[in-house]
Structure 1
């Protein structure tokens, strides 16, 4: 079988096994399990926690002791096992620990999949620069397909989303054993200190004011990068509380609507060289930040009816917001650091955004939403007023029934129903990123260097 095709299958499945639950888990948490919103933020923090140490540990193992493709296969089999176990968990705190274990197995496979692709392409005498991007694009396609399958099979709020992830991860794990061997380098003659092995040498970059500033901004923006993944689907799904929206296409296929974000991501990659050449790295990063402002603001004012266009535009804007920051930020690190610590510096960039930033955003957003933007109803009267309905409204009673809530004779609810103020939730996120963007433009002083011009030209040509 063609090497590139085999790597394409790996790339497709790599992100399929993640997206099967990543975007829809909030529906399971809030809708099916009815767990406390304050604890939901810690679920998305697991990705950040795992990203702090697992890629480094598995990287050392793959470099020294075990074939990368075999380690990759084992990690996915372990990830599959945790996915199969997850639906059996009935306690939110235990759920956190199982998800954390799953992420410890999954997160390092992202870097390993890239390493396997690079090594295999080089060993096959293929041009990595030309061959890898088309392979990697299929990872995004896999992400989109998984979202569609979870939604179209009616599993966006059910435990089956974890079984979909588990079965596909089991297939990927077994398939990976058949990939070409990527043997460890075993560079015995190359002596490294413990700090160098862990990639911590790059932390000395914090002594440079500009680099320290960049990494701090990366962390603060990283806190916002996963918020729409965490809350986007449940935000759209909860419009069903309003009778006027109850049967709309957007609510039934909310995950498919959100997949426009990933489609946009693949398209905006093509626009990055033009923007880099035209505006330079600093302003492309700034454009990404303001795109995040627009992303959240459009969610704040969008709805499944007259303002559906806002939700659609928000999903399109996501491609610019996500791609422009990650790629221009990576390029800034590449052209601003010495070659001997460049790989470590890239790891630090990822650690600040997907590690510390993700943890910060997940924990604070979960706490703030539960503390300031959630109302708990115990009586159907105030609830009916909230949804512009009345006690006899069929949509409201059906909704309560689907939530497992019955209405007592005196109008009380059998248990409290929590309703989130999504408009102000998204507005608070909007203001947060807007402040970051404005401060970044004012205090981050940076001009093009010859190295940057050369790197940008290399991307364009």
Structure 2
């Protein structure tokens, strides 16, 4: 791949995940502090991601795979997203905030599949090339987190002054820039525009469901749904957890999870080639279980190292499962439905699995708290750890070792 193309795709990834990381990590804390939302409200807000992800395969299959160039759709969505981010910044209560967030996430979640599709379209060897580009998305997410902590928006003083709402205006500005930039990206033409009989299932991207006829991929798909139940606990509860137990600069510390993600992203091609897909996924799921145990027994004083190690394990959890899964999905997808196939795995992970997970996390967090709103975090974190172990055992038992072909 030419350097200039690699640079342009890397910048796309950086901006895509900077926008998301600008507000997503701290949303739970923002809702509780600025809008006085309850645990159930916070759970509902995070669930908007899942509703967007469930619709993503159909949106991408309808538009990107059949009619329009993916980079143009990406630009249009982010321009609309900039407007919605500003409106979220201006929201004064949860009732006004929630419908705007729902619309935004229905628009945003398909872009995760679109940036992958745009990237894969330029690659001859995704197994080696994709991680080098995708790592810049992680760097974008980290940069957003460090900016938030550097400006002290998430500090006790910042929370008291309501400064955390500035994350939304920051996301709005960067989304505007990405929207304009997207129109300059390499052309990614529609692939499914073929002659012949019109098929409604093809228009909606449902033909990508044919991937589930492959037994191994079906096991992987189901495991993706199940492992995202405990993952939702991390996204929804980690920031309020660290803030409640008194960890300073919690957003900056959580960004260390993405720093480790950069390191493990670079190590992924070596590990993937040497140990194979199954072992890579096993390591990821085991890391999930260990992380939640560390959260359960860590604290803000002598046990802070446990929290930091648990945060750092995010790199293993995310890279070894999600990025490997994207590569695996691309290898199984035919040339005709690459975009809708990436949308399908987005549905499994960010959609169905996390929708269940966010609901469960909200119910469990609400159950394990006292009358003053203080949570019993040890009990809360042990539940997703146990779920992770069960999913790991399911996967080990049924998924057969498979050598995948990532060549075009």
TM-score by length of 1: 0.77
Q: Distance in 1 between matches of 2:399 and 2:60?
A: 37
How far apart are 1:273 and its partner, in Å? 4.3
SS at match of 2:193: coil
The separation in 1 between residues aligned to 2:179 and 2:273, in whole angstroms, is: 41
Shift of 1:186: 8.0
Any idea what SS the aligned residue of 1:375 has? Answer: coil
Which of residues 375, 387, 401 is equivalent to 1:432?
A: 387
Aligned 8 A contact 1:48 1:358 in 2 = yes
1:47 aligned residue: 49
Greater CA drift, 321-330 or 100-109:
321-330
| Match status 1:111 vs 2:151 | no
Q: Which has the higher contact order (CA 8 A, sep 6+)?
A: 2
The two structures, once aligned, show a CA RMSD in angstroms of: 3.1
Distance 1:297 1:68, change over 3 A: same
Q: Please identify runs of 4+ aligned residues in structure 1 that moved more than 6 A.
A: 126-130, 335-343
Residues 321-330 or 164-173, more deviating: 321-330
Q: Which residue pairs with 2:221 in the alignment? A: 215
Give the Å deviation of 1:159: 1.0
Give the direction of change, closer, same or farther, for the CA distance of 1:321–1:54 in structure 2 (3 Å limit). closer
Say if 2:271 and 2:280, in contact at 8 Å, map to a contact too: yes
Compared with structure 1, are the counterparts of its residues 111 and 438 closer, same or farther at alpha carbon in structure 2 (3 Å cutoff)?
A: closer
Work out the CA distance in 2 between the residues paired with 1:422 and 1:373: 8
Distance 1:136 1:434, change over 3 A: closer
Match of 1:309 among 305, 309, 316: 305
Take 2:266 and 2:386, find their aligned partners in 1: how far apart are those partners? 29
Counterpart-to-counterpart distance in 1, 2:54 and 2:109: 10
Give, in angstroms, the shift of residue 116 of structure 1.
3.5
Q: Does 1:196 align with 2:202?
A: yes
| Higher Rg of the two aligned structures | 1
Using the TM superposition, give the Cα deviation of residue 271 of structure 1 relative to its aligned residue in structure 2, in angstroms.
3.4
CA contact (8 A) 2:40 2:363 kept: yes
Q: CA deviation at 1:219?
A: 0.9
CA deviations over 1:76-124 (Å, ceiling 9, x no partner): 11111111111333342442221111112211222222333455x47xx
What's the CA shift for 1:7? 3.3
CA deviation string 1:300-329 (max 9, x = no partner): 111222111111211222111222222444
Measure, in 1, the Cα distance between the counterparts of 2:369 and 2:40. 10
Q: Give the TM-score normalised by the residue count of structure 2.
A: 0.86
Paired position in structure 2 for 1:224: 230
Equivalences for residues 41-440 of structure 1 within 5 A: 41-119=43-121, 121=122, 133-156=131-154, 157=159, 158-179=164-185, 182=188, 184=190, 187-189=193-195, 191=197, 193-204=199-210, 210-240=216-246, 251-277=247-273, 279-330=275-326, 333=329, 345-370=341-366, 372-377=367-372, 418-440=373-395
Q: 1:274 to 1:187 in 2, by over 3 A?
A: closer
SS of corresponding position for 1:376: coil
Q: How big is the shift at 1:19?
A: 0.5
Alpha-carbon offset, residue 65 of structure 1: 4.1
